[in-house]
C-alpha cells in the first residue's frame, strides 16, 4: 500500500539549523545565561510580548498607529493652507492606512476613518 501523506517538511527547523550552522546563533544577547523564571510562569502570550518588547520588536499595527497619528497631526496643521481636493486625497490615503491598521490590530483598538470635519477630534483618539 502506498503512503498517501507527503513527507514532513520542517521549514522553520531547517532555517534555524542552517542559521546555527552558519554561526548566526553564536553571539546572541544573554547567551549562556539562565532564562528568567518569570518566563515559565503565567500567560505565555504575555511573556511572548515582553520578550518581543525587550528585543525591540514592534508589531506592524503599532507602527501603522504611529504613522497614522503623525499624518493626522500633519493634516490638522495644513488644513487651512491647502485646497479641499488636496486634503481629500491625503485623507483617502490615510483612510486606506487606517483600514490596514484595523485589519491587523486587536479588535478593541480599532478606530474609525478620518474626514475633513473630524480631523481635530481624530488627533485625540490617535494619540
- Give the tens place of pLDDT for each residue, 8-44: 777 888 888 888 888 887 877 777 788 777 767 777 7
Query: Can you tell me which residue has the cell 486587536?
Result: 106
Q: What is the CA radius of gyration of the chain?
A: 23
Residue at 26 is within a domain: no
Residue at 39 is within a domain: no
Residue at 89 is within a domain: yes
Residue at 32 is within a domain: no
Residue at 112 is within a domain: yes
Residue at 37 is within a domain: no
Residue at 99 is within a domain: yes
Residue at 35 is within a domain: no
H helices of the chain, where?
A: 11-21, 44-54, 60-78, 84-104, 119-126
Cell numbers for 113, please give them.
476613518
Determine the length of the chain: 127
Structural domain count, the chain? 1
**75 within 8 A of 119, measured Cβ to Cβ:** yes
- Indicate the SS3 state at residue 16: helix
Parent domain of 104? 60-126
pLDDT digits (tens, 9 = 90+) for 78-98: 877 767 788 888 999 999 999
Amino acid at each position: 500500500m502506498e503512503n498517501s501523506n507527503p513527507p514532513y517538511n520542517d521549514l522553520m527547523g531547517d532555517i534555524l539549523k542552517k542559521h546555527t550552522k552558519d554561526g548566526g546563533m553564536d553571539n546572541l544577547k544573554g547567551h549562556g545565561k539562565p532564562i528568567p523564571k518569570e518566563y515559565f510562569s503565567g500567560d505565555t502570550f504575555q511573556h511572548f510580548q515582553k520578550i518581543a518588547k525587550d528585543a525591540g520588536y514592534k508589531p506592524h499595527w503599532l507602527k501603522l498607529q504611529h504613522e497614522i497619528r503623525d499624518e493626522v497631526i500633519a493634516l490638522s496643521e495644513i488644513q487651512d493652507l491647502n485646497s479641499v481636493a488636496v486634503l481629500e486625497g491625503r485623507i483617502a490615503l490615510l483612510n486606506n492606512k487606517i483600514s490596514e491598521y484595523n485589519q491587523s490590530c486587536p479588535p478593541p483598538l480599532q478606530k474609525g476613518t478620518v474626514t475633513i470635519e473630524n480631523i481635530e477630534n481624530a488627533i485625540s483618539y490617535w494619540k
